[in-house]
Structure formats: C-alpha cells, structure tokens
Structure 1
Amino acid sequence: MTGPQRLDGPGDRTAADRDEHAERWWRRVPGGREHDRERFTLRARIGVLAALVAATMVLLVSAAAFLVVRQNLTSSLDETLLLRAQSAAESDLINPQLLAALPPAVLGAADLHIALIYSSGVYTSADPSSTPPVGEPELTVARTGQAQGGRTTSLAGEAYRVVAVPAGEGRALVIAQQLDSITRVVSRLGTALPLVGLGGVILAGLAGVAVARTGLRPVQRLTAATERVATTGDLRPIPVSGSDELARLTISFNAMLGALAASHEQQRRLVADAGHELRTPLTSLRTNLELLAAADRVDAPTLPAEDRAELLDDVRAQVEELSHLVGDLVELARDDDPTMTTEALELGEIVERALARVRRRAGEVEFDIHLTRWILDGDASALERAVLNLLDNAVKWSPPGGTVRLSMIPISPEWLVIEVADTGDGIAVGDLPHVFDRFYRADTSRTMPGSGLGLSIVAQAAARHGGEVRAGRAPEGGALLSLALPGRGVPDDASP
C-alpha cells in the first residue's frame, strides 16, 4: 500500500511548471502583477513621483518655516524683555519698597512678572501672584553682574520666558512673560502649514499627471503605431511635430518603418520575380516531359530518335537552367547573413580559376587577360562567383570570334579595379543604372538565356568585401563592367 500523496493535477509537475502555473494564476488575480502593471502606468508614476517630490519639499519648507518663525518670535520676545528689564534697572523700580508698592494690576495688564533677587537667594516682588520663575541662572546674574539672554521655564504648569539683568551690587532684576501668545501663533502655524502643504502636494500630483499626459503624447503615438504594425502590418510613418528628443525618436522610428517597408517590398518583389522566372522553364520542362510520356504509350505514334534526343537535350538544358536559377536565389538569400569566412587571398589566382571554368563553355570567344598580384581579405567562393558571372555575361554578349578583355588595374595602393569588357552591342544608357538590380533584364535580353541574377550577385559580393561595381561602355564598343575591391599590391620581387 502506498503512503499519502499530494494531488497536483494530471501527471507530475516540475518546479518550473508550478512556477509558470503560479505566474498565470497571479496575472489573473485582480491586483496581481499583470493587473498592477496595467493600472500603474507611466503617467501615474510621473504624477506620484511629482507628488512625492512636492511632499518632500513641503515637509522641508514647513519644518524650516516653523522653526524660523518660532525662533524669531522667541528672539523678539527676548529683546523686548531685555529692553524693559534694562529700563527698569535704570529707574527707581530697583528700590525694594517701590517694587513692593507697585500695583499688581499694572503688571497683570502688561503680562509681566518682576522680581528683585539678591545674591543670597532672597528675592522681592510686588505680589506673590506676580513673582516670576527664579532659579540658579538668575542667581548667577546677581552674583556675577552679567546679564542673562533668556530662557524658557515653567511655573504652575505655565511656560514662561525669563530674562535677568544686573540691578546694582549683588542684585539682579528678573522679568518674565508667559509664552501663551507665542504658543498660539506657533500652534496655528503648525496646523496651517500641513494643510497648505497637502494642497500643494495634491496640486503637484495633478500638475505632474497633466505634464505627463502632454509630454507622453508622442510616446503614446509611437506605442499606437507599434501596436498597429504588430496587428495589421501597416507601415505608414507617424507625423512628426517639434524638434525635441521625442521628435527625433519619432524620426528614427519612421526610418525604421521605412527600412522595414523597403525590406518587405524587396522580399515581395523577390518572390514575385523568382516565381515569374521559374514559371517559364518549369512550363517548358513539363511540356517536354508530357511529350516524352505520351510517346511511350502503346497506341501513340513512334517518336523519331532525333526528336527524342532533341527533347532530352531540352530537358537537360532546362534542368541546368533551373539549377543555376535556384543556386542564384540561394546565393541572394544570404544577402542579410552577416557571417562570412574571410582569409588572405591572392585575387589573381581566383581570377584564373574563374577564367578556367568559363573557357570550357566560351565557344569561339577569345580572351585578353591582364593580371596583377593583389592580396585582400575575403571569401574565395564569393569572389570567384562574382568574377565568373562577369565573364559569363561578357561571353554571352560577345559575338562568335569576339574578344573578352579582363584587366586587373591598381588605381591606388589600397584599391584595385577588375574591368571586364566585351565586343557586343553594349548597354543602353537607360539600362546602365539597373544592370546590377535583381531580375533586371533589358528589352534586348528577354530572349537570351539567364535569370537576371548574375550581376546582382556580383554587386552583393562587392558590398560584402567593402567594394563597389559600375557599368559603362568599353572602348571596344561593348559593355564595360568594373568591380573595385580594397586590398594591397604585391611587389614584383616578392616570393610567391
């Protein structure tokens, strides 16, 4: 019998499964992570941040204002009490008999408590009810003759501010006043400042939300455009207003949309052109195969051997054309592949290998070759394919008995140009800017074999190696195609 087991659902769950299940459950719970992220937007965060900053500033300013006001009120009271004490010490009020005879109502009206204290600790006042708080600091003034700035003490539960000034040998005049007026002012200030501060915090939060709403409007447009692209594939640019950082971000995003639209258009055109180019050889191949299959039927007329051989030759030619076309398409499909095997290469050797391959199918065309030693870092197969396509193009357009010229011309210590010229009719001026485009074929070449991809592969290889291609008219009268590549020359006396 097995022991108790925990039921987790169908099958056993791993820790990762349980974490994923918990995360999905948490996102469904109101107030969970997903809900919180959707509710606490960037606009709300900016508003809360503004409110927190305002609250901090209000707290600091309120505390500083409270302390400064309280200190100023206390200092003002001390100055008033000291002036009164000094005036009283210079008058007849320092006479004990006069002080004792002073009506208490006078002192009560002024809210003052006055006493004359001796160095022995004995003090005299007008009335017990008007006696100020007297302590060691006041006794020290009577003994030393140095005035006391002021201190706060309590008497019968009431707070008093007390000052003392010398009033003759061994005596000091003490004056005190209750702090209830200052306390009321400070208390009101302590109540008003938080209320005003709270209003300021609320206004700051609302202002922060308003500023965030206005400032983030371009970001909202970018977000909406991104969602639109992800949902519908619509790559229309976003209207740009202003010249700030968000405007530059919008311009960059529009540039990205433009590049993406161009890539989609290029991909669409590549698929459409490839389908168009594949349709013709496939249709011809299917027709020839159907004829051969029909000729093998029992009730079909006998197909002459010459016709069968011609059909088979056509089938082989069409299969070869399809193979070349598929190879060209595969090569062009690597256009976005950033990886490339590079090594130090002798360009002259690559040209010789390409030349050996093209001679086998050149027929009666002659070659005029001018080589030079040139070293560069690159992909040997890509460069050989590019030179081979240049030579094949020149052979195709040269008449029987014509000459194809290939020259390697160093134009600087860092650059070399491979020129391939033929003796054909040349390239029309209107076609020169497009001869290296994919699937581009001039009107005069529609009936010629080829897919229109060979020269685009040459342009792709040049771009991968940091070079460039150009098309023009050769002195011989035909087309002149140039491939410029960076590298370095090899001295004639250098060992191979």
Structure 2
Amino acid sequence: MSRTGGRLRRWWHRQSLRTRLTVIAATAIAVSVFAAFQVASELLDWELRSTAEEQLRADSRVLAANAERAGLAQVQLPPYPGSGLLMRVVLADGSVRVPDGQPSLPPVSEGAGLVVQGVSAELMESGDSDDDGYLVYTLRVADGAVQVVRVADDSSVNRFGLGMLLIGLLCVVCGGLVGRAVARTGLAPIDRLTAAAVRVARTRDLDAGIPDEGGGEIRQLIRSINDMLAALRDSRQAQRLLAEDAAHELKTPLTSLRLNIELLIRLDRRGTLDSALPSESRSRLLNDLGGQVAELSTLVAELTDLARGDVGDENTELLDFADVVVAAATQAGSRVPDVEVALDVSSVWVSGRPAALQRAVLNLVDNAGKWSPAGQPVQVRLRAEGAAAVLEVDDAGPGIDAADVPRVFDRFYRADSARALPGSGLGLSIVQRVVDAHGGRATVGRSARGGALLRVELPAARLIAGNDTAVR
C-alpha cells in the first residue's frame, strides 16, 4: 500500500500543472456527482417507501372495513391478480386466510401477533424475501387482524441509478475537458512568463522586461520578476562601473610603479645605478616604491571588499558599539602613530556585524586623520540619542567644500584638495555601504572646529531585562 502510494506521489509530481488542474477538476466533479447520486438515491428511496406505506394503509383500511361488516372468518377476499398487492386475514387462533392463487407469505411475525392479540393497533414492517424486499402492514380488526403486503419494486431506483451513472460519467468527461480548457487559459500568462524568462536566460538581455498582463497573483508575479531583472540589471551596471573605475584608478599607480622599476632595472643593467642615483635619491625612490605598493595593496583590499556587494559572511549579533569604536581607534593609532584620537564614548548596544562595523569606523578615523593638523586630535564621540546610536568623527582640517558634500560617499570620488593625499576614494563608500546594510544613515557636515564632521546613526538595540536578547 505504501509502495503504491509512493508511486502515485512520484507520478503526480512528474505531471505538469495543466495536467494536475485537469485531474483535480475531473476528480472534484466526480466526487460531487457521486455525493449528489447518494443524496438523490436516498431521497427517492424514502419517497417511494413513503408512498408505498400510504398505499398499504389505504388498502388495509378498505379490507378492514369489509372485515368489520362480514367478519374476519367470512369476509370475501378478492382473487390474487397475479402481481402487486398481497393480503391475508389473521384470526384470533393464529390461523390465516389468503386469496386463492396467492403466493405464500412470510410467517406472521411476533410483532404482528401482538397486534392480533390487541396489544397494539397497527404495525408497519419491512423485510426481505427470497427474491425481493417487502413491506407488511398489520391492522387490528375485531378479534384478529388484516395484513397487506407489497413487494418492493427496485426497478425505478435501478433505472435512476443507471441514469445518474451515465450522467456522472458524462459530467466527469466534460469536467476534464473544461478543466483542461480553463487550465490552458489560466496558465497562458505563466507560459508566456516562462518563455520570457527562458529568452532572458538564453540572451542574457536583462533590459527585455516581461509584459505586465493578467491580474491578481499573475500580475504580482510578473512585477516581482521585472523588479528582480531590474535589480540584476543595476547590479551588472554597478559591477561594470566598478571595473571601469578600478581600471582607471589602478592605471596611474601601476604606471608610476612600472616606470620606476624599469628605471632601476635599466640603470642596474648598465652598471650606472650608483653613479646615476646617489644614495639619497635611491632611498627616496625606494620609499616611493614602497608607498606605491602599500597604496596598491590598500586599493586592492578595498576593491575586493567593495566588489562583494555585502558586508561579509558574518552573522549579526548583539554587541556594544563602544567596544567596536575603541577597537577601531586603537587599530588606527597603530597604523598611523602620528594621528592622535580622542575618545568620548558611552555604551550603546546595537545588532550588527562587528568586523564590518569596525572597518567602517576605522575608515572614518583614517579619513579624519589625513586632514587633522599636527597637535589636533581626531575627536570620536559615541552616545545614544533616543532609539539610535550616534557616532561622530570630526577633525580640525579645512572641512569639505559644499560642492563636494553630495559626492563624499561616492566610490573613487576625491575632492581636488585631496588628490595629493594617499587614498583611493573608497573608504567612505565602504562606510556608506556598511551603514546602509545595518539600517542606518551616514551624513557629513562641518564641525565646531572648522573641519569635517562625519555622523553615523544606527538603530539601537533595546535590551530585555533578564534576557540576552534585544529588540531593534
């Protein structure tokens, strides 16, 4: 049984949606017809039985009236007509009288005997003979009883059942055809949607949207797929722009690095390296090469981080943002010892990815450190404001020009005044991406010291007392 059920399930899952709808429609109609047949058969049987019982009562009253006038022992019984109604008279001593030529009837039942004895006035019984069912109505008359028997005729019920069966088969066939037609019509938008999706997959043309047709769930599905195609199109465009920008940004440091290395190789081959480049110039050139390699390494790391399109594979966890800020400030101090960082942080819990947040804070501190004059620390403040954790990083540098503010967080964007400083223009873009991924907001303004003020707002986590969980 289980094996058969498994085969049926596998067969069902292999069928198309159109075939499934057709089978479901035909099955539903078949079940409906069967239920209707059962109900109609019961109603018809009840109606026929009720009619037969009323007829038996009427016939027994006629016979009882005759028996009252002539007496049970002398009443004239009509000859048996050959079919239909059967009757008999039951006398007080238990003997019976039947019409001439009438077939034998079942023995007088115990219940009918009680009617003969006067315990009850009447009794309607049903039973089965050798060939057919029958109804027996016993009516008390004088010191005996009369009985009228009618053999049940199931021919009308059988004809009705045959008719219902034929009608049911016809309905099932018509239901299957109608279900097939409805499935074909209803799934036509799905077929066109599938064809469009196959075309997009084959041609890689994400600009070819799917026509918005149909209604309800179909239209919602088409719009969702169009939104997905638009997202893929934007992602591919962003990747193309990233590759173009990366190639442009890498071209200058790679060219400079290649020219300097070629110069060293050429002088070394000629044996004039020491004479052409004094020790001081050679040291300066090697330092430049080291700086360019470090800048390329930073640029490649930032490009790799940015090209992933997310904030890494970290799991989101509940953390104290103050710990992240302190760790980032400590890392920035170890990387650039000349930059002083002044911390003013308070504990604020957030739900986020610690490594990504630390990278964002580090980029903010590094950016401020490039502009801070000697003796002027980078001020880092963290506090809670309502339902947000607010981080502010400001410097005492020249600030950001109003024309540059809208593009501060764009990839590879560098203000004219920053062209001579080290950097790739990706640091603040990574900050923006991390903040967006955490549902926050990053803005830029002017600090009270005249420099730039970079502000980050993240949703704070509300701790539940006695529990380690948090609600954002």
- TM range, smaller chain: 0.7 to 0.9
**Cα offset for 1:192?**
0.8
Query: Closer, same or farther in 2 for the Cα pair 1:354/1:484, shift >3 Å?
Result: farther
Instruction: State the number of aligned residues.
Output: 440
Question: Which residue number in structure 1 is paired with residue 49 of structure 2?
Answer: 74
Shift of 1:384: 6.0
* Amino acid corresponding to residue 50 of structure 2 in structure 1: S
Query: Counterparts in 2 of 1:289-328, with a 5 A limit?
Result: 289-298=261-270, 303-305=276-278, 311-328=285-302
In the alignment, does 2:259 pair up with 1:281?
no
Distance 1:348 1:188, change over 3 A: closer
**CA pair 412-174 structure 1, distance change in 2 beyond 3 A:** closer
Matched, 1:432 2:402: no
Secondary structure at the counterpart of residue 393 of structure 2: strand
1:470 shift after superposition: 1.1
Residue of structure 2 equivalent to 1:99: 76
1:118 aligns with 2:91: yes
Q: Which amino acid aligns with 1:261?
A: R
Aligned equivalent of 2:381: 408
- Do 2:365 and 2:393's aligned partners in 1 also have CA atoms closer than 8 Å? no
> Where does residue 204 of structure 1 map in the other structure?
175
Check conservation: 1:462, 1:483, Cα contact below 8 A.
yes
Q: How does 1:337-416 map to 2 (within 5 A)?
A: 337-339=312-314, 344=320, 345-346=322-323, 347-348=325-326, 350-351=328-329, 354-355=332-333, 357-360=335-338, 371-375=343-347, 385-394=359-368, 396=370, 406-408=379-381, 410=383, 412=385, 415-416=389-390
CA distance in 2, matches of 1:168, 1:382: 108
Q: Tell me, yes or no, if structure 1 residue 176 matches structure 2 residue 149.
A: yes
Counterpart of 1:354, as a letter, is A
Please say if residues 394 and 451 of structure 2, whose CA atoms lie closer than 8 Å, have aligned partners that are also in contact.
no
Amino acid at match of 1:167: V
Please, which runs of 5 or more residues in structure 2 have no aligned partner? 1-6, 462-472
Report the secondary structure of 1:284's partner residue.
helix
What amino acid maps onto 2:176 in structure 1?
A: G
Q: Deviations over 1:260-285 (max 9, x none)?
A: 43333333332332222212211222
Q: Over residues 209-250 of structure 1, what are the superposed CA-to-partner deviations in whole Å (9 max), with x where a residue is unaligned?
A: 344444445554554555455544444554455664454444
Which one-letter code corresponds to 1:99 in the other structure? Q
Residue 149 of structure 1 and its aligned partner are, at CA, apart by 1.4
Q: Secondary structure at the match of 1:108?
A: coil
Once structures 1 and 2 are overlaid, which stretch shifts more, 91-100 or 261-270?
Answer: 91-100
Q: TM-score, normalised by structure 2?
A: 0.75
- Bigger Cα displacement from structure 2, 437-446 vs 189-198: 437-446
2:464 is aligned to none
C-alpha distance in 2 between matches for 1:477 and 1:458: 22
Quick one: distance in 1 between partners of 2:177 and 2:22? 7
Quick check: 1:480 aligned with 2:444? no
SS of equivalent residue, structure 1 residue 481? strand
Contiguous gaps of at least 5 residues in structure 1: 1-31, 489-496
- SS of 1:162's equivalent in the other structure is strand
Contact 2:399–2:446 (CA under 8 A) maintained in structure 1? no
Map 1:412-423 to 2 at 5 A. 412=385, 415-423=389-397
2:241 to 269, 284, 293: 269
Task: Tell me, in whole angstroms, the C-alpha distance in 2 between the residues paired with 1:281 and 1:43.
Answer: 61
The answer to whether the 8 A contact 1:114-1:131 is kept is: no
Secondary structure of 1:351's counterpart equals helix
The superposition leaves residues 371-426 of structure 1 with CA deviations (integer Å, 9 ceiling, x where unpaired) of 3243356777766654553344345457x779565252646376343232343262
CA contact (8 A) 1:152 1:161 kept: yes
**2 CA distance for matches of 1:259 and 1:280?**
32
The answer for the alignment partner of 2:30 in structure 1 is 55
**Bigger CA drift: 80-89 or 387-396?**
387-396
Instruction: Give, in angstroms, the shift of residue 185 of structure 1.
Output: 0.9
Letter in 1 for 2:29: A
For the residue of structure 2 that corresponds to 1:452, the secondary structure is coil
Q: Is 1:190 paired with 2:161?
A: yes
The residue that corresponds to 1:26 in the other structure is none
Tell me the distance in 2 between the aligned counterparts of 1:111 and 1:35.
Answer: 57
Q: Report the Cα distance in structure 2 between the residues aligned to 1:381 and 1:53, rounded to whole angstroms.
A: 58
Distance in 1 separating the partners of 2:306 and 2:250: 15
Q: Supply the distance in 2 between the matched residues of 1:436 and 1:277 (Cα, whole angstroms).
A: 17
- Corresponding position: 1:457 with 2:430: yes
Tell me the SS of whatever aligns to 2:240: helix
State the alpha-carbon separation in 1 of the partners of residues 447 and 437 from structure 2. Answer: 26
Equivalent of residue 329 in structure 1, options 303, 310, 315: 303
Between the aligned partners of 1:394 and 1:271, the Cα distance in structure 2 is 27
Q: Give the structure 2 partner of residue 494 of structure 1.
A: none
In the alignment, the residues of structure 2 paired with residue 93 and residue 221 of structure 1 have an alpha-carbon distance, to the nearest angstrom, of 90
Alpha carbons 2:253, 2:292 under 8 Å: kept: yes
Structure 2: how far apart are the matches of 1:55 and 1:227? 37
- CA distance in 2: counterparts of 1:280 and 1:485, whole angstroms: 37
What secondary structure sits across from 2:424 in the alignment?
coil
Matched-pair contact (CA < 8 Å) for 1:118–1:139: no
Aligned pairs for 1:148-159 (under 5 A) are 148-152=123-127, 154=129
Q: What's the C-alpha RMSD, in Å, of the aligned pairs?
A: 4.2
* SS of the residue 1:77 aligns to: helix
* 2: CA distance, partners of 1:341 / 1:177: 85
Question: 2:151 & 2:361 partners in 1: Cα distance?
Answer: 107
Q: CA deviation at 1:76?
A: 0.8
CA shift for structure 1 position 135: 2.2
